[in-house]
Structures are given as structure tokens and as C-alpha cells.
Structure 1
Amino acid sequence: MNDSKRWLTAETRPEDEKHAPATLRNRDAIVAVLADVLPGNGTVLEVASGTGEHAVYFGEKFPHLTFQPSDPDPDCCRSIASWTKRAEVDNLLPPLQLNALARDWNVDSPAAILCINMIHIAPWEAAIGLFNHAAKLLEPGALFYLYGPYFRDEVEPAQGNLEFERSLKSRNLQWGIRDVADMDKLAAKTDFERESLIEMPANNISLVYRKA
């Protein structure tokens, strides 16, 4: 699908189809990282897919993989379905309604799990749930990839992230930019090891974990 057809204006976009402008800004940087860490085959589960735009783009860029988008929000699932319907890719599955806070996920074991820009707009319990589910589903050595803003003890936080943190807290006191150290502790508790930390544009970070 060419860009003129895919990226419709607000007036011409289908009613169910949401658009996140940040997707256009970060997708290529994320793809560059994923190209080095994704498996050679299998199904990749994306948690908190939001609008569905990343899933469509990843499907185009990695045709050898099958992508399973998901989101807890029914409106987002409808948006994912709309994007998927218009996308001329055949390696996207229908969206699943998965919630990190749920006790069980009715999903087959994937080859990898991705989660982009969820951790900071959810309670800490959602991060715990996400790691617990990933630990149950992934085989040893499998990829667990997180992207978003994070604080690091040894690095002075960017002013933009401090302002973003205040904005998040003003909307929901349970939200907030998490510390990499806390993510690593949670990873260790759920049998994951961090393979790498990659600085990304706009003060974001890629965290690459592997199931031990």
C-alpha cells in the first residue's frame, strides 16, 4: 500500500481508524533495532498495539514473520482491524483484546513479544502483569522488547522527559516514566535478562530482554 493511500486525513479516514502522529516519528528507528533482534520466523505478539499503525508497518518491513496485534481497549481493537483491513499485507492476524492486568491470556506461545509506549501510561501493576505473562508464554532465548521513555540513575533526565512526567502525573497519579533499574529488577524476578539498552530519538529507550 502506498503512503498516499495509507495515511488518510482525519476527514477521509474510516471512522474506527485512529492515528497516532508519534508512530510516523518513531517507527523507522524501532524497525532498525528490531531488524537486529527479531527471530527468523514465527509469530510476534504486540501488546498494547494502540491504533494498529506499528503492527501494519512491522508487517510490511518483516514479511517473514506473522504479527499478532492486541489491545485491552475495544476502540483500539477496532482501529487495529481497520488498519489491517486496508493494509496490503497478509501476515497480520486479527487483533486480540488482551489486558496486562488480566489473570490469563488465551493466546498461543509467540516467538517474541513487543510492547511500545505502554509502561508509562499504565499503573505499575500492568508492568508486573506484562512481565508475568511474557514469562509464561516465551521460550528460553525469546525476545521481549520494550520501547518508551525511561529514567536511568546514572543519566541526568532530559528536560522534556521531566515535563512529560509531570503531565502524566497530572492525568493519573498511577502513571509515570519508570526507572530502568526497576524494569531490570522486575525482569530478574520473572526470569528475563537484559541483552541491551539502546538510546532512541526524542529521549526514548529500547530495552531488549531475553527469556533466561
Structure 2
Amino acid sequence: MLCAAAAERNKQPIADVLLQCVDPRLPLQALEIASGSGQHVVHFAQQMPRVTWQPSDNEARSLVSISSYIEATKVNNVKPPIYLDASQSWETWGGLQPNSVHLIVNINMIHISPLNCTEGLFQGAGKLLKPGGLLLTYGPYSINGIITPQSNVDFDYSLRQRNSEWGLRDTSLLQALAEQNEMFLEQGGKFFILEFERNLHFCSP
């Protein structure tokens, strides 16, 4: 199994935000895009046992790791992981159907992937989410062209040195992509919570 130190640190803070945004007592369908090691999805499943989770990733080693975490934790509300490349059309996303998902979660992908992955994420969310469904993304962002603190400035520089297609995305870009795909943006620190076809007032972490 893969083990990411960052995932261990942030899995509970992200779960806390999710628990503010959805009612875990309801039988909801959730999709995690870019599940990575699988640490997040099994943790969320343990905290929200009535939510059925569909993990996904585009790397074979991650798919193996996710399956290992599911087996090790014995969670019964996580489906087997599917191959999903966010840069490709949502029709290729493992047979997922339009208007079938209440919640989409995407953690630490946007800044370490080409822009077409972010565009694909928003386009797919606009198709797959039910009315009133939520898209939650987590990661560092540029806000109106400004990156803070200095550690994020340095991080952005290092990402762009590694790959010119990577780097922190600006909130204005995310807002534009949200609106293009019938979603509205709510900002909350490192989180962006997007609700499909409805202004979002009740979820402000």
C-alpha cells in the first residue's frame, strides 16, 4: 500500500468539512476523482458509513493501493476503484451515468496536473452531479492573482520548474469553469465547494 504523509495529516480536516456539507445519515453516492493512495476514501467511508464511495485514479499503482486499503480496513461502502483520467471526456469514466452522484471530491490534483484535467473535472462534475450535488476540491490556490503565504509561492515555483503545465490555479479560473458548467462557487480557505444548479449558502467551512 502507498502511504502519503500529507494524506494522513489532512484526511480528518477534510472529513470535518464534508460532514458540514452533507448529511452522512442519508444514503448518498460519492465519487472521489484522483484518489491516489486510497487513504482518504477509506477514512471518509469510515466516518460516513451510509455514503457509498467510488474511488478512482489514472495510475495503476494507485488503483492497487486503493484496493489494498479497502481490503485492509474492511469498509463495505467503498466500491472497487475505477480507472479515470480527468483529462478525458466524462463518458470514459468507468460507466458513470449523468445525474447519478451527490458528491464529488477531488484532493490535491488541480495544481499537479495539466489544465485540461481541471477543465475535465469541472465538465464531468457538471454532467454527473445531481441537482443540488456538491463538488469539493482541496489544495493550494492563487486568489485573484495573489499566492500566499511565501511557502505556497515557493511551492508554485517548484511545481512549474518540474512541469510547465503544473502550478497553482487561480480562483477566478475555477469560478469561470464552475459557471460554464452550471455550478456556483463558495470559497473556504483551501476548499472550494461547488453546488450544481443552486446557490450555496449552507456550506461555508
Quick check: 1:176 aligned with 2:167? yes
Quick check: 1:198 aligned with 2:184? no
Residue deviations 1:37-56 (CA, integer Å, cap 9, x gap) = 12532210000000000001
Counterpart in the other structure of 1:119: 110
Quick check: 1:34 aligned with 2:18? yes
Runs of 4+ in 1 over 4 A off after TM superposition: none
CA distance in 1, matches of 2:6, 2:145: 27
Give ranges in structure 1 of 5+ residues lacking alignment: 1-16, 200-204
CA distance in 1, matches of 2:30, 2:176: 24
Counterpart in the other structure of 1:59: 45
CA distance in 1, matches of 2:145, 2:164: 25
User: What TM-score do you get using the length of structure 2 for normalisation?
Assistant: 0.89
Q: Letter of the aligned partner of 1:36 in structure 2?
A: Q
Select which of 100, 103, 123 maps to 1:132: 123
* CA RMSD in angstroms, aligned pairs only: 1.3
Counterpart in the other structure of 1:102: 88
User: What TM-score do you get using the length of structure 1 for normalisation?
Assistant: 0.86
Count, aligned residues: 190
Counterpart in the other structure of 2:203: none
Give ranges in structure 2 of 5+ residues lacking alignment: 198-205
Q: Is the 8 A contact 2:144 2:170 kept in 1?
A: yes
Q: Give the superposition deviation at 1:155.
A: 5.6
Counterpart in the other structure of 1:3: none
